[in-house]
Amino acid sequence: MTIFSIVLIILFFGLLIAVHEFGHFIAAKIMGVRVNEFSIGMGPAIISREKGETLYSLRVFPVGGFCAMEGEEESSDDPRSFHNKPFWKKLIILVAGAFMNFVTGLVIILVLLFLVGSPAAPVFTGVMEGAEAVLDTGLQPGDQFYTIDGHRIYFQSDAMIYLQRAGEQVEVTVLRDGEKVDLGEIYLPYRQLTDETGAQVEKRGIYVGQYLEDTVATRLQNTWYQAIDYVRMVWMGLGDIFTGAVGLRDMSGVIGIVAMAGDVGQAGAEAAGMFGAVVNLLDFTALIAINLAVMNLLPIPALDGGQIFLLIVNGIYHLFSKKYIDQKYLGYVNMVGFICLIALMILVAISDVNKYIL
């Protein structure tokens, strides 16, 4: 792990937080909500300046930030308070942070694809020696995987991930000469094979991956596909947590993210110098940006998704009772959620220290 990589990822991480909070801030301003303070970072303020009705501040720790709106945590008589705005305006303000993170990830991916080109396509190119039986399944060299077990396949990496998670019977649809061909369930067992180095390996025995003609149109399309891929990775990870496939030691907090970013940057530097390090770190940042967008919309108190959930609950309550839940009670729920998140972050941080430092 290099100091350069660590500094760079901290700067990128701080930028993502700034962009997220700016999303809330600009949406609040557009919707006519009074913003009391807009802060980047947490802890004591390093710099603060009041302009108009809003205090702008930069704080010590670049691991958070906030957009403090009037009437967000408690009831307010101010007609410009968040609490007194209609449902649709509140919803736009709450979604704006995650939206900005997603757009940031999208822009980073777009820049990267124009710098280094699109990833390899999921084209079946042949079989290893000893796995010739695969050709009897209906797969033909040149076929491009379209779905595997119902999952849309965009890139070589998708094919490898979903083949790894599949059983011996794999449901496959391919693109052949521009037409979709449903091969149904095909038999792709793991076999004892000999690789190029002469070592004995257990693999399915198929080669996947081919770089296709890259145009402006394909790079634009692949930018969207890569963003969708990152969203799927987040959901896949959440699914693994809920099913018990991964545990606490497999989760990563700020320490783990910085450590992984350092490894990613170092791998890029070894492959292509500083340019490779920056490219790898930008790609990692795009993944984190989209990860933040998805995670923030989960219906967990203290997150944007939790706020949206409580907003809907409050709306349903008003529909039947003609009253609103007191804002202070919603604040208590968010406080409990915040404490639980902090506790989880501490546990994950302790796990990160054991994995990456001790």
Where the chain has pLDDT below 50, the residues are 1, 253-258, 261, 265, 268-269, 353, 356-358
SS3 helix, strand, coil % of the chain, rounded to 5?
Answer: 55, 20, 25
DSSP string spanning 251-285?
---HHHHHHHHHHHHHHHHHHHHHHHHHHHHHHHH
CA–CA gap between residue 304 and residue 307 (Å, rounded):
5
- pLDDT value at residue 209: 92
pLDDT at position 3: 62
Q: Read off the tokens for 138.
A: 């209906």
pLDDT at residue number 254: 46
pLDDT score for 315: 85
* DSSP for 6-26, written as a single string: HHHHHHHHHHHHHHHHHHHHH
Please give the structure tokens belonging to residue 136: 């009897």
Q: What is the pTM assigned to this prediction?
A: 0.81
Q: How many CB atoms lie within 10 A of CB 218?
A: 16
| Residue showing tokens 């050709």 | 135
Report yes or no: 170 and 149 within 8 Å, Cβ to Cβ: yes
Calculate helix-pair angle for 304-321, 327-356, nearest 10 degrees.
160
Angle at Cα 275 formed by Cα 251 and Cα 254, nearest 5°? 20
Closest CA to 13 of 66, 65, 63: 63
Q: In the prediction, which pLDDT does 24 show?
A: 94
Which residues are catalytic, by number? 21
Helical spans, DSSP H, in 117-215? 156-165
What pLDDT sits at residue 224?
Answer: 96
φ, ψ of residue 59 in degrees (nearest 5) = -110, 170
> How far apart are the C-alpha atoms of 32 and 16, rounded to whole Å?
24
69, 53 in Cβ contact below 8 A?
no
The length of the chain in residues reads 358
Helix (H, G, I), strand (E, B) or coil at 286: helix
Structure confidence at residue 153 (pLDDT): 95
Q: Among candidates 347, 180, 157, which has minimal Cα distance to 252?
A: 347
- Residue 201's beta-bridge partner residues? 193
Centre a 10 Å sphere on the Cβ of residue 79 and count the other Cβ atoms it contains: 11
Instruction: Give burial (CB, 10 Å; 0-12/13-18/19+) of 208.
Output: buried
pLDDT of residue 356: 47
Q: Which of 152, 210, 211, 164 is nearest to 188 (CA)?
A: 164
Per-residue pLDDT tens over the stretch 81-134: 988 899 899 999 999 999 999 999 999 999 999 988 999 999 999 999 889 999
Name the DSSP class of 79: T
